[in-house]
């Protein structure tokens, strides 16, 4: 029998293997840095500071304690808006996918919502909620909701009828139908949608803050722009991108692999 020590060992090995596989992505990012540096050398540091100058500026901002509060505020807003859209979007999408009528009804609405530019939502939100916390949170929610909803609906719609028959023929109780049939299938649609929503949420929160609040990364970007401080602006961008990359590759991607391990070819 496989003991607990063996399990800990193989879990550690799996984590190490996963982290090590990140080198390919790092190589690609470093190549991008080379390109960035080239652009910086062509245009000069006033227009485009190079990666080193930007990282130094970011380090300085973190070191002086300037960056953390803003990052925390933006992260909180993102998580609130994103969390709400993940919960509500997934639940409603799954329900809509169960019924052909609901799917028919919601498809054009989703197209409409997806096509609506976030900046338009932002203007409406500013009119409705004013210049407070609610505006960015709402904008994030409404921008991510259709993505998650569409993914969930697609997942619920595409479940193989044959597998449903298997569940019926073997009299699977409803809890087992959920864990062994619906969730594993739906997850493979939900998680990519969640990842897309995560990317959207960060973009939208920074934009919303830039126009509607006095704190958060977006507001800080507005300040550095008004001071023509390109290095600080880039440093804020890098900080946001780093958070985004970390959230995707340390949280969602491992989750995706865990959920979709039955799809991977390279499982030993």
Partner 1 sequence: MNALHVRHLHHRFGLQEVLHDVGFDLFAGQSLALVGPSGCGKSTLLQAVAGLLEPSRMVMQNDFRGLGYMFQQPNLMPWLTARDNLALGLKALGVPKPARQRQADSLGQRLGLALDDLDKYPHQLSGGMQSRISLGRALAVSPDLLLLDEPFSALDVGLKLELYALLREQIAQRGCAVLLITHDLMEAVRLADRILLMAPEPGRVVREFELTLPQAERSEAWIHQTTGQLMENTEVRIAFGLQAGTLAIAESHDHGATHTGCKV
Partner 2 sequence: MSWQARLEALLQCGYRPFFLLSAASACCLMLFWLTLLNGWINWQPPGGMVLWHVHELLFGFAGAAIAGFLLTAVPEFTETANLPRTVLVRLALLWLLARVLYLLSPFWPASLALLPVALVNLLFWLLLLWHLLPRLWQHAGRMHLSFAWVVASLALLQLASLLANSLGGDPMAWLRAASGVLMMLIVIATRRISVNLVNGLIEEGRPGAPPPINSYLPRPPRSYLALFCIGLCSAVELWLGHNSITGWTALAAAAAMLNVLNDWHIGRALFTRWALLLYAGYWLIALGYAAMGASWLGAPLTTSAGRHLLTSGAAALSILAVMAVVGRIHAGLWLDRRPWLPLCALGLIIAAVLRALAGVPGLPIRALFSAAGLVWAGCFVAYLVAARGGLIAPRADGKTGCAAPLEHNAREGGC
Cβ 133 to partner 2 shortest distance, Å: 39
69 belongs to the binding site for partner 1 (CB under 8 A) = no
172 belongs to the binding site for partner 1 (CB under 8 A) = yes
Burial class of residue 151 in the structure, from the number of CB atoms within 10 Å of its CB (0-12 exposed, 13-18 middle, 19+ buried) = buried
Cβ 195 to partner 2 shortest distance, Å: 22
What, of partner 2, partner 1, none, does residue 30 touch, CB below 5 to 8 Å by kind?
Answer: partner 2
DSSP 179: I
Pairwise CA distance, residues 51 & 32, whole Å: 10
8 belongs to the binding site for partner 1 (CB under 8 A) = no
Q: Where are the beta strands (DSSP E) in 129-185?
A: none
Token couple for 235: 């440093």
- The residue written with tokens 């949280």 in the block is 251
From 5, 20, 23, 170, residue interacting with partner 1 (rule: CB under 8 A): 170
Phi, psi of 16 (to 5 degrees): -60, -45
Pairwise CA distance, residues 134 & 76, whole Å: 12
Q: How far is CA 3 from CA 7, 9, 145, in A?
A: 7, 10, 44
From 11, 14, 27, 251, residue interacting with partner 2 (rule: CB under 8 A): 27
166 belongs to the binding site for partner 1 (CB under 8 A) = yes
Give the nearer residue to partner 2 in terms of CB position, either 51 or 216.
51
From 17, 46, 171, 226, residue interacting with partner 1 (rule: CB under 8 A): 171
DSSP 172: -
Cβ 266 to partner 2 shortest distance, Å: 9
Token couple for 266: 């390279």
Pairwise CA distance, residues 160 & 180, whole Å: 13
262 belongs to the binding site for partner 1 (CB under 8 A) = yes
Q: With CB under 8 A as the contact rule, which of the stretches 21-29, 63-71, 140-148, 163-171 interacts with partner 1?
A: 163-171
Phi, psi of 2 (to 5 degrees): -85, 120
185 belongs to the binding site for partner 1 (CB under 8 A) = yes
By CB under 8 A, name the binding residues for partner 2: 13, 16-17, 20-21, 23-24, 26-28, 30-31, 33-34, 37-38, 41, 50-52, 268
By CB under 8 A, name the binding residues for partner 1: 162-163, 165-166, 168-173, 176, 180-181, 184-185, 261-263, 265, 267
């Amino acid at each position: 029998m496989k003991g607990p020590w063996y399990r800990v060992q193989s879990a550690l090995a799996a984590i190490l293997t996963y982290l090590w596989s990140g080198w390919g992505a790092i190589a690609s990012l470093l190549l991008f840095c080379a390109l960035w540096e080239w652009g910086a050398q062509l245009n000069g540091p006033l227009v485009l500071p190079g990666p080193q100058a930007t990282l130094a500026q970011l380090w300085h901002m973190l070191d002086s304690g300037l960056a953390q509060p803003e990052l925390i505020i933006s992260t909180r807003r993102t998580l609130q808006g994103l969390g709400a859209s993940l919960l509500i979007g997934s639940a409603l999408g799954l329900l809509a996918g169960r019924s052909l009528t609901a799917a028919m009804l919601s498809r054009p609405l989703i197209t409409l919502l997806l096509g609506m530019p976030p900046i338009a939502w932002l203007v409406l939100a500013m009119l409705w909620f004013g210049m407070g916390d609610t505006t960015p949170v709402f904008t994030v929610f409404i921008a991510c909701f259709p993505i998650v909803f569409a993914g969930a609906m697609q997942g619920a719609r595409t479940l193989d009828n044959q597998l449903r028959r298997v569940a019926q023929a073997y009299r699977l109780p409803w809890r087992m139908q959920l864990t062994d049939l619906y969730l594993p299938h739906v997850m493979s649609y939900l998680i990519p949608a969640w990842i897309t929503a995560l990317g959207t949420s960060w973009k939208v929160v920074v934009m919303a803050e830039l126009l509607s609040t006095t704190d958060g990364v977006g507001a800080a970007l507005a300040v550095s722009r008004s001071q023509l401080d390109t290095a600080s602006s880039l440093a804020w961008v890098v900080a946001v991108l780093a958070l985004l990359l970390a959230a995707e590759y340390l949280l969602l991607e491992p989750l995706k692999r865990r959920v979709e391990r039955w799809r991977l070819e390279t499982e030993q």
